[in-house]
Structure 1
Amino acid sequence: MDVTTGAVLPEECIATIISFTSPRDACRASLVSPIFRSAAGSDLVWERLLPQDYQQIISESVSPGPSSSASLNILSKKDLYFHLCDTPILIGNGNRSFAIDKLSGKKCYMLGARELSIINIGRRITSFWEWISSAEMPVLAQSRFSEVARLGLGHWLRIRVKLSIRYENERNATNAHLLPDTPEGYDGRLPSMREDMWMEIEIGEFFTDQVDSVVEMCLMDTACDPCKSGLVVHGIELRPK
């Protein structure tokens, strides 16, 4: 391609080439020239940059308004891509959400508290959870799900979930502290503030492989004392490293 003489490839050829790059490269290419801007914004490019099964996923959307399945289907592929990056959609029974990682285009899922195994335990070791409407949450920490789980009083913390997925069989455990203040001599992960005002703790990672299996994620207390209360669980998110 020779931009000095005006001899350029057809726009469709430019779009095809850009479609084999990345979302970041496509956005950068749009700054080269008007023809690149048109090519880089085309459906041909962003159709390839979206997840292969995006149509099946958005057909399961139960979100209202601009995130409904009907509304998403009328967007250009580029607009759809960035909508899914910035606005997670609820899918299935509304207890899971789906979004796209903006830089890589990879899929991100969050399992709401109702999808997790959060059990009330009685007798000698107590742990009592209650379900509250997300509308009752503070304005700055609204949940995307209709309900969240709140620990009313507990000596024992155990939250589990199993998910069918292709992964590399590798077990690992990580220490985490639920309070943002670093305790003296503590060796482990601390919570950080998310953009949606929830606190987040990384509890582990796994690597994709070609083996169909089940990955289990678990957050548990290492000691049943002292008594705990007030913990609110939004969900567990799986996203690309």
Structure 2
Amino acid sequence: MNNREISEVMDITSNLPEECIANIISKTSPPDACRMSLVSRTFSSAATSNLVWEALLPPDHQQIISESVSSSSSLSMPSKKDLYFSLCDNPILIGNGNRSFTIHKWSGKKSYMLGARELVVIWGDASQYWNWSPLADSPLVPKSRFSVVAHLVEVCWLHVWGHIETKILSPNTRYGAYLIYTIGDQFKGLEKPVKLSVRFLDEIRCDFINAYLLSRTFMDDAPEEEGARFPRDREDMWMEIEMGEFFNHDQVDRVVEMQLRETEVLNWKSGLVIHGIEVRPKDLR
């Protein structure tokens, strides 16, 4: 909302009780609720009420919180607004601790991250190929929200994938899937392109895109391949690369598959450290 729109709302609602104003604000968005709290004392009280922020939280947030294995003290807040922003900024581990949940700050839409242990990693159980290390054993790896990360020791056949159910995501939302990883100090064979894909499992077609796990600054001769993807650095010190996107029309029970593979060049590769795959809303800010 701009200043003129807020002024018009004030004129319309000047004689309404606070609860009615709160009900109106609850139909807007988190950014609008925050802006409208600056309008007047009445609006501030209404815009920070539990009625507003209960409506802006995901409808099933209490059920998700009940599955949390994170510290419960940070989730037992009397203020729904405080709970909202806590869930935005502090991912909670759910289920067996190999998934995390957050909400998108600007929309209230749900985001999930599948930790490395939640993914299928070919040869992942063989220590000569992959090493699963707790954080205490990985001083050079950025901080992880999960207990372990997957270190690639050496493989020629790289294939990692994960699944997520659309029924747990926010409906009518476009999602992107992102591989979250970093590159160790001693790596090799990662300059070759890999294939990434995102698809619904009930669809036969699977379109792969070419991507490079190394950023351009790590490559002596960065390719100018049209359409190829490169990673970007995250604020949490990890790297991410978009694997693909999908639109979740409703909460029908479909399954999305997200793949990383390099099974064509078959060169020996090492030094990749996988944190997980994040599924989050796109283009909502």
* TM-score bucket of the superposed structures, by smaller chain: 0.7 to 0.9
Q: In the superposition, relative to structure 1, how do residues 2 and 208 fare at CA in structure 2: closer, same or farther (>3 Å)?
A: closer
Provide the rounded CA distance (Å) in 2 between the counterparts of 1:156 and 1:55.
Answer: 42
The structure-2 alpha-carbon separation of the partners of 1:153 and 1:52, relative to structure 1 and needing over 3 Å to count, comes to same
Q: Does 2:55 align with 1:48?
A: yes
The number of aligned residues is 232
Question: How much has 1:176 moved relative to structure 2?
Answer: 1.1
State the match for 1:24 in structure 2: 31
Aligned-pair Cα RMSD in Å: 2.4
Which moved further from structure 2: 106-115 or 214-223? 214-223
Give the structure 2 partner of residue 146 of structure 1. Answer: 147
Change (3 A) 1:7 1:115: closer
Contact 2:122–2:158 under 8 Å retained in 1: no
Task: Give the number of the structure whose residues are more often strand, by fraction.
Answer: 2
Alignment-mate amino acid for residue 58 of structure 2: P
Match of residue 228 from structure 1:
269
Which runs of 5 or more structure 2 residues have no equivalent in the other structure? 1-7, 168-199
Structure 1 range deviating more: 10-19 or 166-175: 166-175
Structure-2 change in CA distance of 1:7 and 1:136 (3 Å):
same
Q: 1:44 to 1:184 in 2, by over 3 A?
A: same
What SS does structure 2 have at the residue aligned with 1:73? coil
What pairs with 1:3-82 in structure 2 (closer than 5 Å)?
Answer: 7-64=14-71, 68=72, 70-82=73-85
**Structure-2 change in CA distance of 1:172 and 1:105 (3 Å):** farther
Aligned-pair identity in percent equals: 58
Match of 1:184 in 2: 223
How far 1:162 sits from its partner (Å)?
2.3
Question: Alpha-carbon deviations, 1:170-211, whole Å to 9, x = none?
Answer: 744222100001623233111111111100010011111344
d(CA) in 2 for partners of 1:204, 1:45: 34
What are the superposed Cα offsets for residues 48-88 of structure 1, whole Å, 9 maximum, x if unpaired?
A: 00000000001111112xxx2x5412341000000000000
Which is further off, 54-63 or 209-218?
A: 209-218
Distance 1:221 1:101 in 2: 32
Residues 26 and 156 of structure 1, relative CA distance in 2, 3 Å threshold: same
- Between 1:103-112 and 1:201-210, the stretch displaced more is 201-210
Deviation at 1:99, TM superposition (A): 0.2
AA aligned opposite 2:247: F
With over 3 angstroms needed to count, the CA separation of the structure-2 counterparts of 1:141 and 1:121, relative to structure 1, is closer
One-letter amino acid of the counterpart of residue 275, structure 2: H
The answer to whether the Cα contact below 8 Å between 1:29 and 1:36 also exists between their aligned partners in 2 is yes
Deviates more, 1:8-17 or 1:209-218: 209-218
Structure with the larger RCO, 1 or 2 (CA within 8 Å, 6+ apart): 2
The one-letter code sitting in structure 2 at the alignment partner of 1:177 is Y
Deviations 1:68-116 (A, max 9, x none): 2x54123410000000000000011100000000001000000000000
Show structure 1 runs of 4+ deviating over 6 A.
none
Residues 88-103 of structure 1 correspond to what in structure 2 (within 5 A)?
Answer: 88-103=91-106
The unaligned stretches of length 5 or more in structure 1 are none
1:239 counterpart SS class: strand
